[in-house]
Amino acid sequence: MFGTVVVGVGIAGLARIRDLMNPMPSSPSEHLKLLGFVSRRSFGNINEAKQISLEDALRSKEIQAAFISTENRSHEETIRMFLESGKHVLVEYPMALSAKAAHELWEMAEKKDKVLHVEHIELLTEEYKQLKKEVAGKDLVKGTLHFTGSVLDENKTGFPAFSGIARLTWLIDLFGDLTVTSATREKQKDKNYSRMTVHFQTANK
């Protein structure tokens, strides 16, 4: 069994705890053992999972891997700490708020001989797999992807593009490398409204 810890207990972290405590039969999760969770807030226990301090999680010889589900801005620092402690890391996207930091973390994981995996669960859904089948072998002429959500705290999530990075991952997975040709942003503070529009071009234009 592989000892694991979940860091952060928002929506994603709670889902991780649930899935680790009740793994699907014959799934890889059956080989993972949840040894605790870390949170700035005081919970005590969540179901049968016990709260432990970050320091204990980093020091523990029984914990071999960390699932990081905190706000975007803290991903980089938390990944570094767990890699330095000799643990494998799975982190919710995005890994960091800059490409430079992300490359440094990949290099660090390689030097430590540890797995650093950025999770994008949507790419594993049946709906997405079906979409990928439908576009296979076809040429993209033009397309639009539109999505909405609540206004995010940029201090925690980073620049607005990061709230849409999951969809960018979709497009790259479906159509290959993309080049940004233009990007605009509209803000209406009085209406608590923000909109970002980005145009991309595929390798074959």
Residue 69: pLDDT over 70? yes
Q: Express each pLDDT in 23-57 by its tens digit.
A: 888 888 889 999 999 999 998 888 889 999 999 99
Domain boundaries, the chain: 2-119, 125-202
Confidence (pLDDT) at 76: 95
Residue 54, H or E segment = helix 54-59
Q: At what angle do helices 99-112 and 75-84 cross, to 10 degrees?
A: 10
Confidence (pLDDT) at 99: 87
CA angle 205, 132, 176 (to 5 degrees): 30
- Cα 7 to chain center, whole Å? 12
Top CATH class, 125-202 = alpha beta
Q: Express each pLDDT in 137-193 by its tens digit.
A: 888 889 888 877 777 777 777 777 766 677 788 888 999 999 999 999 898 888 888
The runs of H, that is alpha helices, within 158-199 are 165-175
Q: Looking at domain 2-119, does it have CATH number 1.10.1040.10?
A: no
The pTM of this model reads 0.76
Taken as a whole, the chain contains a residue count of 205
| Other CB atoms within 10 A of residue 25 CB | 6
Confidence (pLDDT) at 162: 67
